Structure formats: C-alpha cells, structure tokens
Amino acid sequence: MKLYYVPISPYAQKVMMALYEKEISFTPELVNLMDKAARKKYRELYPIGKVPLLVLEDDYMIPESSIIVEYIDQNYPKDPLLIPGDPQEARKVRFKDRMLDLYMTDSVMNLFFQSRKSEAEKDTMLVKQSQQRITAMFEFLNHELDDNGWLHGIELSLADCAAAPALFFCQQLFPFDNHPKIQTYAERLLTRPSFQKVAEEAIPFLSRM
C-alpha cells in the first residue's frame, strides 16, 4: 500500500508513527504541497488535496489520519493495539485524538505558518486564538496524564500518535516548560523509536524551511 504524505505534516506523522509502531511496510509517496503543479496532480487523485492518504493495492483510498490509523489497527493486529477493543475505552481514545487534532495540532500549525510571515502580514487574532487553545489543551493534558502511563492508560494508543506531532511542534513554537507532567510525557513519547524515525525524516525538511 502507498502512503501519500509530507514529512512535516503532523497528520502524516501521526499515521507514520502508527505504521512504524506496528512495523507495517508501505510505499511512501511524497507529495510536494509547495509546488502548484504537484498539488494539482495530487488533487486529481484526491480532490480534497490533503495528506495523509493511504491507497491500498486495489486502489481503495483511505484519507484522514485517524481513519487510516483505525484501518491499520483493524487490519494489522500486531501490538500495540492503538484503539482498545472495549467500545467505551475506544470512544475515550477517539475523543482524545479529536481534541488533539482539532485544538492542539491545528493551532500549533497556525502558529507555524504565522511564524513564517512578516509582522505586517500576521493574523494576530488567529495567533491569539491558537495560543489560547494550546494553553487550554495543556490543561487538558495535565488533567489526563498520570506519572507513568500513556495518554490513555498503560498502552500506547491512537491518542499518543496524535499527541506526538503536536508536542513536537509545540517544543519550538509554544513550549510547555511550565508543565512538568507534559515535559516528562513528551520526553518518553518523542524519544520512542517510532517517533524518532518520523522526526529524522521531518527535521531536514524543517531546517530547509
């Protein structure tokens, strides 16, 4: 199967972390979203134009990072199980994944793109709203984390795969130095071999930007 991705996309990173955790092989298809012609070509395949996108051997397409992780979790039953079998627990993991994507990852990406603009071009309202949301998400994480486990209990889950890229970008753009619990968690999460592999691929792209 093919994964259409961009190494610096946090949503692609979430999926790649899950693939590496479960040791699933895939063909990486890098999409150059900075290039107009490449974007146009990619939209012919997937009109929404977002990465990541998983394309199976029979050309069946699975977009949306959380859905891709759910697909691989269901079809490659190798540990770790990223979405618990118990429906109530599964709902709680999906809830955390949604919170992270919608309020933390989206917000930190806003900060990322705004940081590349001149002062005059910056959308200060958007920056402020994004900072407020990330601050609220730090409170959420502080509340949800305990000292040892992952974001949902003792097993790594979809929620951790969503948290890793968000915290990776926050380190630079909106640090969590005043949150020791998040710091401890981020240290364990971001040094996990699966995420290290993701970061190794992203860092050269980020330094070029």
Ligand X SMILES: N[C@@H](CCC(=O)N[C@@H](CS)C(=O)NCC(=O)O)C(=O)O
Binding site residues, ligand X, CB under 6 A:
9-11, 33, 49-52, 64-66, 101
Residues 188, 93, 99, 31, CA torsion sign = positive
Smallest separation, CB 150 to ligand X (Å): 20
Smallest separation, CB 32 to ligand X (Å): 11
Element (H, E) at 15: helix 10-21
Smallest separation, CB 167 to ligand X (Å): 15
Per the rule left: phi > 0, alpha: psi between -120 and 50, beta: everything else, 64 is left
Among residues 141 and 166, whose Cβ is nearest to ligand X?
166
Smallest separation, CB 96 to ligand X (Å): 14
Instruction: Report d(CA 122, CA 111) in Å as an integer.
Output: 10
Among residues 32 and 184, whose Cβ is nearest to ligand X?
32
Write the CA distances from 85 to 63, 75, 77, 100, 168, integer angstroms.
22, 13, 11, 21, 28
Among residues 102 and 180, whose Cβ is nearest to ligand X?
102
Burial of 92 (0-12, 13-18, 19+ CB in 10 A): middle
Among residues 50 and 152, whose Cβ is nearest to ligand X?
50
Smallest separation, CB 55 to ligand X (Å): 14
Among residues 65 and 130, whose Cβ is nearest to ligand X?
65
